[in-house]
Amino acid sequence: MKFAWMKWSALPAAALFAGGIALAQDQPSAPQSSSPGASTSAPAQAPAKKPEVAKRKENQQDRIGNGVQSGQLTAGETANLEKKESAINKETAADRAANGGKLTAAEKAQVNRQQNHLSKQIYADKHNANTAHYGKGEVGQRRENQQDRIAQGIKSGQLTAGETAKLENQQKGINKQVAADRKGNGGTLTASEKQQINREQNGASKNIYHKKHNAKTQGGTAAKP
């Protein structure tokens, strides 16, 4: 009987111990001791950390890619965001070229401020009333497929910001043409208009494929196999 009481009374203590482990795993790791009495065993090789500028750029692209795929970002909004991201990337590259491949502390701070402004715009564009509505027709489904391919290219790094801006501007132009045609025909498209749009999307499809498979990537020129 005494043994049973000890068995059940130990459960809360065990639960608290397990909870303490889980909590500790979610906290920043403590600094490693460098005292002479510390263990001499070699620490595990930590993976190389990405520079802060590169991490911020990748995060912004992931957010834009998610917005394209979810329909929260229209083609026009995406083109505008990626145009600004491309400008930041060009400025960063120019600063690196002038400083032997590095950025000064002031330049890093400037890039961070620019990315802060862009981050706010990404959020605003993803949460405003403008969304991509595709419809169930062939024209809408083709448009949705193109956007999914572009989103995949953004998130995989196959498409640079500049390439995405050009592709989305092309989609924006097609979307405006479709809207104008529908307005002129009481909300529908004629057979010839559908054929014209399909031809334009064929051209856009080739552009998407080419830009996703050329030597340009978000991280720079792709290595040759």
User: Which amino acid makes up residue 192?
Assistant: S
pLDDT reported for residue 51: 81
Give mean pLDDT in consecutive 10-residue pieces for the chain, a chain of 225 residues.
Answer: 43 42 40 47 61 92 97 97 97 95 95 96 97 90 97 97 98 96 94 97 98 92 44
In 3D space, the residue among 95, 63, 99 whose CA is nearest the CA of residue 82 turns out to be 63
pLDDT reported for residue 106: 96
How far, in whole angstroms, is CA 213 from its chain's centroid?
18
Beta bridge partners of 216: 221
Going from N- to C-terminal start, the domains of the chain cover 52-215
pLDDT reported for residue 28: 42
pLDDT reported for residue 135: 83
pLDDT reported for residue 7: 44
SS3 letters for the chain? Answer: CHHHHHHHHHHHHHHHHHHHHHHHHCCCCCCCCCCCCCCCCCCCCCCCCCCHHHHHHHHHHHHHHHHHHHCCCCHHHHHHHHHHHHHHHHHHHHHHHHCCCCCCHHHHHHHHHHHHHHHHHHHHHHCCCCCCCCCCCHHHHHHHHHHHHHHHHHHHCCCCHHHHHHHHHHHHHHHHHHHHHHHHCCCCCCHHHHHHHHHHHHHHHHHHHHHHCCCEECCEECCCC
pLDDT reported for residue 50: 73
pTM of the model: 0.75
Q: Give the C-alpha separation, 148 to 132, whole Å.
A: 12
Q: Give the C-alpha separation, 187 to 181, whole Å.
A: 8
In 3D space, the residue among 224, 223, 218, 222 whose CA is nearest the CA of residue 93 turns out to be 218
